[in-house]
Structure 1
Amino acid sequence: MSVRKQTKKYLKYLYLPNLFGTDRTKEILQVNPTIAPVRQEPDRIVINVYDYDADTIESKELNAIAACFPYKNSNKITWINVDGLRKSDVETISNHFGIHLLLQEDILSMNQRPKMDDVEGVLFCLLNMLYYNSEKNTVETEQISIALGKDFVISFQEDASRDVFNPLRHKLSIDRSQIRQRSAAYLLYNMMDLIVDNYFTVMEKLGEQIELVEEEVVRSSNTQSLAKINQLRKELIVLKRNIVPVRDLLGSIIRSESELLDDRTNKYFKDVHDHIIQAHDLTENYRDIMVSMQDLYINNVNLKMNEVMKVMAIVTCLLAPATVIGGIFGMNFDKIPYLHNEYGFWLAVGTMLFIPIWMITVFKRRGWF
């Protein structure tokens, strides 16, 4: 790491708002669903289509939304993944595949709470994919909307540069794999399963940061330790905000009476539901650890203060006899015992030394230090 980067790294701690990450607080709390979203539309979108059955698969990247239209009645299972959200494109493909206007608004929304809707024969799921930014030590989110219809699944992503579906693409490339022999609902299950499993990856990395901060707090509690605790608690808020609604979303899918779902596929969604419950429990455990860590920080600070006060109290007690004796012999009286005695000075100094030594012995016997 260069000197410039090191300097920049530590200079930010000189400004307290930077130390405690108030900008991150604004990002987390700045959610108002009543305000119309202002989304910057991308210059281009990426459309990937996977049209398959048990024996064959067609995989291609398309340049135009209209090129997806022939796949509506292909008599195969079709997965259309749209990376990049443009209002006109979302409306065009949604209208062709029968996705309701309310669902189109949800697709184009921002900071939406994860949810599931069943509208006019389309099962719609909206949730967030989570990523861990190792440079900033923050949890990042990307909204994904998934529409399940008869023999098709359409997913809308915000960022074309990343997602969690590479294992799914690999499964689709394998001849006669299980996913190639199942319905579109089974494809939706696989997508949900990968999204939820990635939550554990993010939580594992966040857990590593919690362990490091805990060691730092135990070893030396300072302002930077408190700032790191505060930052981790904010990231846990992001985790909980995204995990808890997904638990409700999967519960709604399990209870759904949609014709697109059957009992054979339902048991797989129950498995994902178990995973998200486990993720929620783990989030609560992390939260308890952070509360305990903050209490530990406060206790360490109080302990250090008590140690300082104890040392100062002992020093004050040890100097008290010398102060009293010096004050007595410093009074302006004409006659003070041993004032003009040739051994008076040494007697006073010896008393000043003897009494503190005796006090130290008594303090040690009583276990005061």
Structure 2
Amino acid sequence: MKRHGPPGSPPATLLPHLVDGKGRKPSIQVIEYDKDHFEERNITDVSELAAHLDNRKVTWINIDGLGDVEALTLLGTKFNLHPLALEDVLNTGQRPKVEQAPDYLFIVAQMVYQDKIKTICGEQVSLFLGKNFLITVQEEGEFDVFDPIRERLRSGGGLARKLKSDYLAYALLDSIIDHYYPVLEEIGNAIEELEDDLLERPSREMVITLHEYKRSLTQLRRFVWPLRDVVNGLLHDASGFISTPTKVYLRDCYDHTVQLMDLVESYKELTSGLMELYHSSVGLRTNEVMRVLTVITSIFIPLTFIVGVYGMNFAPEGHNGEKLPLNMPELYQPHGYIGVMAVMAAIAIIQLIIFKKMKWL
């Protein structure tokens, strides 16, 4: 959900991100590395950063928590971060974007992942990419999708330790994008199971579930579509913050965003098709019920007519004993009741045979 400052507040108004009414004190992790060295530490105060920065190495500063405005303000002062960019960091729910500043690139992305109980979660990640540093700011930090990157940096595997901060920014964006796949796969599998159930036993609860999936896919589309533009903007960056070797990897990242867009659109079309399938299934079942009821009604119409005629009970004789003409002599036949019932049964059987031949049953 996007957060805003009070209406009419001045630009660059920094408001703490509150969780349950409390501002969470940020935890700060600093990783410094080059081809031959790696160092990782946790600090408690932004003011300690200056003592650890080494311009000959790549410095990754990861901040979890947005409850301390003073810490972010101090961070902005040390790295010359624009107050409007810091405002976007605190006002979560921003549209993914990339903005160029004299000393850095400001990148906003929406991170989506599944927690321990497979609940789909998401939060905003803000990145400040400089020549020798990368600052990432997350909302919570309890979960993120960067652990594989940290492990590669610790082990020295791949190119992570050999290239500069722009490659690290690519690796983090690539991890964010790749974690959309399992989320979409989970939704896709659930939709396929729902499709089978819709064919067998459609219900109102399924429609509610379909609407939830459609709303989730709409939200994912709002994240992925501008994220594709972000990667494309980094591909065509002319500021010098993105090197040519890194742009080669960004092309692959761009392909992934296009694939994600195709998946999101495909699943959205599938949910719309399932909604139509639900209405068709309900209409088909209603038609079957109406057909059965119509057949039953058709059978009972002549039977009801016969019963109604014989229920009139006209007397065959007058008060003086004289016989009345054109009356109902069957009323006093010894086997009249059995005969009428037999005629009614024969009519019903004949109708059933006719309906069966006409394939109405």
What is the TM-score with the length of structure 1 in the denominator?
A: 0.87
Query: Is the contact made by 1:54 and 1:176 (CA closer than 8 Å) also made in structure 2?
Result: no
User: Are residue 241 (structure 1) and residue 233 (structure 2) matched?
Assistant: no
Of residues 92, 95, 114, the one that matches 2:77 is 95
Distance in 2 between the 1:116 and 1:175 partners? Answer: 29
Q: How does 1:92-171 map to 2 (within 5 A)?
A: 92-132=74-114, 139-171=120-152
2:346 maps to 1:354 = yes
Choose from 190, 196, 199 the match for 2:180: 199
Q: 1:81 and 1:351 mapped to 2: Cα distance?
A: 90
Q: 1:312 aligns with which of 266, 290, 293?
A: 293
State whether residues 98 and 106 of structure 2, in contact with CA within 8 Å, keep that contact through their aligned partners in structure 1. yes
Please say if 1:210 is aligned against 2:201: no
Are 2:28 and 2:64, in contact at CA under 8 Å, matched by a contact in 1?
A: yes
Q: Is the contact made by 1:139 and 1:235 (CA closer than 8 Å) also made in structure 2?
A: no
Alignment-derived partner of residue 336 in structure 2: 344
C-alpha separation between the residues in 2 aligned to 1:176 and 1:320?
Answer: 84
The structure where helix makes up a greater share of residues is 1
How large is the RMSD of aligned CA atoms in angstroms?
Answer: 1.9
Equivalent of 1:283, from 264, 271, 278?
A: 264
Task: Determine which structure has more spread, i.e. the larger CA radius of gyration.
Answer: 2
Deviates more, 1:260-269 or 1:46-55: 260-269
Question: Which moves more between the two structures, 137-146 or 247-256?
Answer: 137-146
CA distance in 1, matches of 2:147, 2:309: 87
What SS is found at the alignment partner of 2:59?
strand
Structure 2: how far apart are the matches of 1:125 and 1:250? 10
* Aligned equivalent of 2:205, options 214, 224, 230: 224
Query: Aligned-pair distance for 1:38?
Result: 6.2
CA distance in 2, matches of 1:122, 1:210: 42
| Aligned partners of 2:16 and 2:23 also within 8 Å | no
Letter in 1 for 2:17: R
Distance 1:173 1:227 in 2: 46
Name the count of aligned residue pairs: 339
Tell whether 2:345 aligns with 1:363.
no
Are the aligned partners of 1:94 and 1:100 in contact in 2 as well (CA < 8 Å)? yes
CA–CA distance in structure 1, aligned partners of residues 271 and 194 of structure 2: 10
In the TM superposition, what is the alpha-carbon distance from 1:219 to its structure 2 partner?
A: 2.3
- Structure 1 position 258, deviation (Å): 1.4
AA of the residue aligned to 1:238:
Q
TM-superposed deviation, 1:208: 2.3
The unaligned stretches of length 5 or more in structure 1 are 1-29
The letter of the residue matching 2:358 is R
How many Å separate the matches in 2 of 1:230 and 1:43?
34
Show CA shifts across 1:295-322 (max 9, x none).
1111111122112111111111111121
CA distance in 2, matches of 1:129, 1:174: 25
Which residue in the other structure is 1:323 paired with? 304
Cα displacement string for residues 165-184 of structure 1 (whole angstroms, at most 9, x for unaligned residues) = 11111111124741111111
Runs of 4+ in 1 over 6 A off after TM superposition: none
Mark the CA change 1:80 to 1:133 in structure 2 (over 3 Å): closer, same or farther. closer
Is the CA contact 2:3–2:92 (under 8 Å) kept in the aligned structure 1?
A: no
Mapped contact 2:100–2:106 kept (Cα < 8 A): yes
| Inter-partner Cα distance in structure 1 for 2:116 and 2:206 | 18
Q: Is the 8 A contact 2:127 2:136 kept in 1?
A: yes
Distance (Å, rounded) in 1 between the aligned partners of 2:116 and 2:191: 14
Q: 1:127 Cα shift? A: 1.2
CA deviation vs aligned residue, 1:277-335 (integer Å, no higher than 9, x gap):
10111011111111111111111111221121111111111111211111112224341
Report deviation, 1:33: 5.0
Percentage identity across paired residues of the two chains? 30
Normalised TM-score (structure 2)? 0.88
Distance in 2 (CA, whole Å) between partners of 1:61 and 1:206 is 37
Conservation of the 8 A alpha-carbon contact between 1:56 and 1:175: no
13, 17, 28: which one pairs with 1:39? 17
Instruction: Provide the residue aligned with 2:318 in structure 1.
Output: none
C-alpha contact 2:59 2:134 (8 A) present in aligned 1: yes
Paired letter, 1:129:
M
Consecutive unaligned residues of structure 2, counting only runs of 5 or more, are 8-14, 316-326
Q: Deviations over 1:111-162 (max 9, x none)?
A: 1111110112311111111123575x75321111000001110000111211
Deviation at 1:246, TM superposition (A): 0.6
- Cα distance change of structure 1 residues 296 and 115 upon mapping to structure 2, 3 Å threshold: same
What secondary structure is seen at the aligned counterpart in 2 of 1:60? strand
Deviation at 1:31, TM superposition (A): 4.5
